[in-house]
Amino acid sequence: MTGSDGVRCTLMRGGTSKGAYFLAGDLPADPGARDDLLLRIMGSPDPRQVDGLGGGHPLTSKVAVVSRSDDPAADVDYLFLQVAVDRPEVTDRQNCGNILAGVGPFAVERGLVPAGDTETSVRIRMLNTGELAVATFPTPGGRVDCTGDAGISGVPGTAAAVVIEFPQGDGPLLPTGNVRDVVAGTEVTCVDNGMPVVLIPAGALGATGYEEPGDLEEDVTLADRLREIRLEAGRVMGLGDVEDATVPKISLLAPPREGGAVTTRTFIPVRCHPSIGVLGAASVAAGLRLPGGVGEGIAELPGTGDRVRVEHPTGFLDVETDVDPGTGDTPPVVRRTAVVRTARKIFDGAVFPRSAETAPIPAQPSGGHHDSAAR
């Protein structure tokens, strides 16, 4: 359904992000035509995205495409698309754990999954990497209820909790095979627990790790170093040329200030995240539990329990992670990862894209078929 009829769409806040959710059948099957339509829906390219749904920031220019799954291990398939703000680009080379928080409720409301009487669990296959997640959320009386008393940092007020558990993936936790590498002259830990992330002590790059995101973004010298490290890390992590990709993420680590395990400043890829992504935090938490990693001497891990509190510029994110550090020739593996997020429907209806001005853009390279994109 396009043109004067609009396109059926649900705008949702998922975690600390906001995105447009679509059924796959409501979008063109051709990736180029689909991406051209999404650019016009979101209002890109334009720094303000004034003529579309986007909010002028990568965190508010996201898309979820959802459909029934043919995988017996999943109920629905979820394709995440990052729509660039200031350039005509749509990419599927990463997952988004924040937008993931809204997929289960969206699937129930659109009739893809039947609701339970009190709560519902939806098994989700993330097409970007092939990984699975299970989202559990309240459905009193068989209806999605977004109201509740769960609060997450970076989001005003409270909402219903969405508990997201990530089964162990097939890919290595340490993509390079090493708990510590030297990349572009800097000691780092490269980890992938759902999102490829490069962990770096903030002090190694001349930062404290407590700066405001805007101040870090204005540091030209830091931006150049981040780019250099990210490009080399992409190669050694098996991601290839990441010049035009948003992964791997980079997280600067500093000792905690608010009772958590660590303070972070995360870049996507050079803009500093005002909080931290769910999957990025899952990778950070797992990386902190690796003996010999760069987090040693920085992080203050709890003496008992699996919960790791990751501090970020606007608060914290709790990740429950259980890691077997491995011994000898046995590599480390993650036995369990779970996070608590919230999601809220903002509107449901039809969105009207601006008129087509150019031919559909070419489809971007698919992260879902990139061997090293898996966890």
| Strand partners of residue 159 | 150
Q: Residue 214: what pLDDT?
A: 95
Q: What tens digit of pLDDT does each residue of 205-239 get?
A: 999 999 999 999 999 999 999 999 999 999 999 99
Asked, as a colleague might, if the bond just before 362 is cis with ω within 30 of 0, I would say no
Q: Does residue 369 carry a pLDDT above 70?
A: no
In this predicted model, which residue has the larger pLDDT, 123 or 154? 123
Q: What is the DSSP letter of 139?
A: -
- Where in the chain do CATH 3.10.310.10 domains reside? 3-168+343-373, 181-330
Q: What is the pTM of this model?
A: 0.76
- Structural domain 181-330, CATH architecture: Roll (3.10)
d(CA 82, CA 25): 19
> How many Cβ atoms are within 10 Å of 345's Cβ, its own excluded?
16
Q: What tens digit of pLDDT does each residue of 331-345 get?
A: 999 999 999 999 999
**Full 3-state SS string of 195-226:** CEEEEEEHHHHCCCCCCCHHHHHCCHHHHHHH
Q: What tens digit of pLDDT does each residue of 8-63 get?
A: 999 999 999 999 999 999 999 999 999 999 999 999 999 999 999 999 999 999 99
Question: Over the range 36-64, which residues count as b (16 or more CB within 10 Å of their CB) and which as e?
Answer: bbbbbbbbbebeebeebbbbbebbbbbbb
| Contact predicate 175/276, CB 8 Å | no
Within a 13 Å sphere around the CA of 132, how many CA atoms are in the beta-carbon half?
A: 16
Residue 4: pLDDT band with limits 50, 70, 90: low
Q: What tens digit of pLDDT does each residue of 285-321 get?
A: 999 999 999 999 999 999 888 889 999 999 999 999 9
Residue 375: pLDDT band with limits 50, 70, 90: very low
d(CA 72, CA 79): 17
Assign a CATH topology to domain 3-168+343-373. Diaminopimelate Epimerase; Chain A, domain 1 (3.10.310)
Q: Structure tokens of 228?
A: 């250099």
Q: Residue 268: what pLDDT?
A: 86
Q: Does residue 372 carry a pLDDT above 60?
A: no
